[in-house]
Every structure is written in structure tokens, then in C-alpha cells.
Structure 1
Amino acid sequence: MFPRILLPGYKACHGDNDKSANSTPKPSMVISLIGAGGKTSTLFWLANQYRQRQLSVLVTTTTKMYLPSSQQADYIISLSTSQNIPLPRRSSQIEYLTGQHQLHIARSGISFAYQSLIPEQCNTNNSLAQDVTPLKVQGVAPQDIDALAAMGLFDVILVEADGAKHRWVKCPDSHEPALPRHSDIVIAVTGAEALGKPVSDRHIHRLARFSRITGCKAGERLTLMHLARLIRHPDGMFKQVPTGCRCIWLLNKACQCNLWQGEGCSDKALAPARLRQLLNSHRQLDAIWLADMDIPALYQVITP
């Protein structure tokens, strides 16, 4: 299953953020991922879906991210020319490139672009420490991604625009998320395995802010209604989303969990109807996806 809204050419934007089909060159479609509990796996699932459709894809981040494997990317591009780039393993099929001009070369398949290597991974000779695997990199500034999108070199740009310290649920801080202004679609990911479990900083990133916004205190069991409050709150899940951007909430590993635990409802057949009620009560939200990105698979798309 691959929703039509994700295809370049589909009118994904409206209002102030609309990109006219008459513009030259045609800007790249920008999809930004925020939240927790499966952003990176969703990012590369999307990238692979586009590659299968013979579309060119640029994957990047505005925060920090590990370099992808040869199964995830065809090209790795360092936008900084002042740093060494990692030497590929003998078995690697990835081509390593340096400099923004290389973006013109890597037009097919999946390209991954980053700004620079995290400094602590380099030794005193400014070369890569050989015992660090995998390598972590610093991402690209949101405004630079907007500029890349305007160049139209790729059909799609996929952006990991949030960090969550490997937690399942994320409440953004005042400076988060780091979204490109011209994002066409924002996908907020939540790990559904947190539902029904006692709320703690083991599962929730920015627990104090989460509790203030949702009213769910440490030790209480997390319910879908707590997450609904996080979605609706102006400082919650979709904070700082650009005007006119499509908003999607992805519940990862939803089919492995009882979405209604703690809600007085044990009938999973009612879940789509209840989720649709939540969707209709939040004007900014365009769709809810139920998925398991460990497989990976998108099981169900719920729309108003």
C-alpha cells in the first residue's frame, strides 16, 4: 500500500505553501518526519518505495543521524569539502561523493546527504576513527533543504527533522522540530508499543513537557486519548508545521498493540471508527496511518 498523496504531482499543498506547477524548475516534493518510535525505518521505507517507482530520492536530516547501509542508499554525499569521508567497506555498493555539486550526479536511486561528521568520531589526525561503526553525521539546515528543493534536482526529498533518543513517544521542546519551511507533507511517527505502559522517561522523550500538555503524569498508563491531546495542543506533536502542509499521524507497530487499552474498549474492530473520530476532531490532521515499519508494511490508511 502506497497512498497517492505521497506521489510527486499530487496536489499535496494548498494555501500559502502551494508550489505552482508553472514554476521553473519544478521544486522537489519535501516530506519531513517528526516524532519518535520509527522515523528512520519509515524514512527508508518511503525512499525504497520511490526507488521502486523509478523516482530520484534525496534522504537527509536536520538533526543528527547514522550513515545508511548499502541496503538503504546508493550514494552518500558529504556537502562539506573540508572533511574526510568514510571509506566504504569492500562489500559496499555505496558510492561516496564530496561537495554540493555532486548532487547533480546522484540523480537515480537513493542519495543520502549530510553536512559534516560528528567531531568526536575523528582522531587527532582529523581522519576517521576506524573503530566507530556506524558513523553519525550532522544534518543540513532547514533553509538549505528549502534551497535544494527549489533546485528541483530530485523528485522527492525525505527529511528526518526530529530526534527522540530512541524513545517511543516525543513531545517537542520549544526549539523543535527543525522543519524545512517548504515541507509539503509532515509525518508524525509514534511508537504504539508505548500504549498501556506506565508513562516514564524510558518511553517518553521530554516527559515533563509531555505531562504538562497531556495531563498524563509519570506512572499513569498511556492511552490513546493522551496522544490525542498531544496532537491537538498548539505546542504538541504538530508544532511549527508550515501553513498549508499536509499532516499525517503514523502509529507504528499499531497492529501489535491494543490501541484502546485503558479506554474501556477491548474490541479492536472499533479502532478505525474511533481513530476516524479523532481525525475529524483535529482540523490540521489529514490522515492516520497504521503501520509496522519493522516488516515494513503500511496496513491501513484512515481518512476523514
Structure 2
Amino acid sequence: MELSNIIGKNEIITVVGAGGKTSFINYFADFYRCKLRVLLTTTTKIYVPDNYENIIMTIDGTVIPSICHGVTVCGSYINNENKIVGIDSSILDEIVDKFDIVLIEGDGSKKKRLKGWNDNEPVVYHKTTKTVGILDITSFGMNINEENIHRLDLFKKIVNLDTYNTNNDSTVNLENLKNIVLNPNGLFKNYCGEKILFINKVEDEKYKKLAIELIKSIKEDKSKMEIFYGSIKQKFCTRY
């Protein structure tokens, strides 16, 4: 089915994880821009998006004006890396009612496909109605090292790997990916509202089989979450 079916109007969505967060948010911003009043923001830091109708920084106490259809990007300020620095929850509380859908990036991964989470991550807005966790299936088989994984030592703890004995030849397996999803300190740590797992980059039969095998393993835990697999790039998904 179309990726757009995952999220409708009157939702506050916080997206966490690695391997497609920004693409996921940008897809929905583009999909709804002509239909709804869309707020695109962050509780951490994001690069300034390429496409929007309004951009508002609140460092000077700017009041959010009446908003028409389109995408409004909001943050505290833009830093010297051309990143928007997020706004805190008190400001979000004042403005979310002005929009039909709110898209929040609540996690950072340094453009790596997997990560571990420190004590303050992810930053999920307390009025979030759906927390969407992105998991990159192409990380299966990837070497477990600093080059590939953000906050490597924390990742190893979450997936129950021995921090000291893991060597450079160790690779990511399905049990590791399952642990990322189900560990209380993993993907859905600090979640609010409904949990939605999106397994991204399922773009051929190999990764489809892996995704289905992973989902079956996750389902054994009886954890309450909706699970989809598909491709943000190709704009499709399947509910399992």
C-alpha cells in the first residue's frame, strides 16, 4: 500500500531511530503540504529542509502567525552547521493546535544506519500521538564498528553484546535488530502514544524475507506496536 496510509491528519508524530528519519518526515510533509497545515520541527537538531512555505525561528520570541496550508518549519535558531536547533516542549505546547499535522524529528544518528541511545535520547514530545521508530534492514550483515554505528558502546549494551570481546569481524544479525526494537533502552525508549515500527529499505526479495523473519521474531514478544515494512524511497509499505 501507499506509504501515506501510515499517518493521517490530527496527529503529532515523533520519528526516532536511524536509516530514514528525515526522509520519512519529508515524505509526509510533501504529501500533505497542499492539503493540510503541516508543522515540521525537531526536539534535537536537523538540517534546514529544502522545501517549505514558511520558516520561523523562536529565539527572538516570535509569535507563530495564522498559518495556511503548506509546510512551516520551526526551530529555536539556525546554527553554524546550517542545522535548526530544536524548540522545547513549552513552545510546542503553544503552537501545535495551529496545525493539522505535526512532524517532529526526535533523534540524531550522524547519518549512520544504527545507533545506541544515551540517557537523554530520544527526545519525544510529551503530546506525541504516535512514535515512529525507523529501522534500516540493510544494516543486517554490517560490520559492528564505530564507522557504521553511532554511540557504538551503548549499541552493544542494548543488543547484549560483550563490549570488550566483540571484534571487527562481528556483524549485525537479526537478534541484534530485534533487541534494538524491544530493549527498554532501545528504539522506543521515551516513546509516547502508539508505537509504530517502520522497517525501511525493503526493496528486494532478500530484504523482504529478512524483514518478515525479523517481524515474526518481534511478534513472539507480544509487544504492542504496529509494524510496517517497505521503502520510503519507493513510497510503499506493507502492514504485517
TM-score grouping bracket, smaller chain normalisation = 0.7 to 0.9
Matches within 5 A, 1:113-192: 113-118=74-79, 121=80, 135-149=82-96, 152-192=97-137
CA distance, structure 2, for counterparts of residue 236 and residue 65 of structure 1? 21
User: Conserved in 2, the CA contact under 8 Å of 1:34 and 1:188?
Assistant: yes
Unaligned runs of 5+ in 1: 9-27, 83-98, 122-131, 260-267
What are the ranges of 5 or more consecutive residues in structure 2 without an aligned counterpart? none
Match of 1:109, as an amino acid?
Answer: G
Secondary structure of residue in 1 paired with 2:64: helix
**Residue identity in the other structure for 1:116:** Y
Match of 1:57 among 26, 34, 38: 38
Deviation of 1:197 (Å): 1.4
- TM, length-normalised to structure 1: 0.70
The residue type equivalent to 1:37 in the other structure is G
Taking a change above 3 Å as real, the CA distance of residues 166 and 257 of structure 1, as seen in their structure-2 partners, is farther
Does the aligned pair in 1 maintain the 2:16–2:133 contact within 8 Å? Answer: yes
Q: Which has the higher strand share?
A: 2
Structure 2 matches for 1:220-235, cutoff 5 A?
Answer: 220-235=170-185
The 3 A distance-change label for structure 1 pair 30 and 253 is same
TM-score normalized by the length of structure 2: 0.87
Q: CA 1:210–1:282 in 2, change beyond 3 Å: closer, same or farther?
A: farther
- Report the AA paired with residue 166 of structure 1: K
One-letter code of the match for 1:227?
Answer: L
- Residue 73 of structure 1 corresponds to 52
What secondary structure does 1:48 align onto? helix
Q: SS of the residue aligned with 2:24?
A: helix
Correspondent of 1:251 among 175, 189, 199: 199
RMSD: 2.3
Check 1:257–1:251 CA distance in 2 against 1; reply closer, same or farther (3 A cut). Answer: farther
1:206 is the counterpart of 2:146: no
State the 1:162 CA deviation: 0.7
Q: Secondary structure at the match of 1:275?
A: helix
Task: Give the fraction of aligned pairs with identical amino acids, expressed as a percent.
Answer: 24
Aligned residues: 234
Out of 218, 221, 226, the position equivalent to 1:286 is 226
In our comparison, the structure showing a higher alpha carbon Rg is 1
- Distance, in Å, in 2 between the alignment partners of 1:51 and 1:276 is 35
Match of 2:19, SS state, is coil
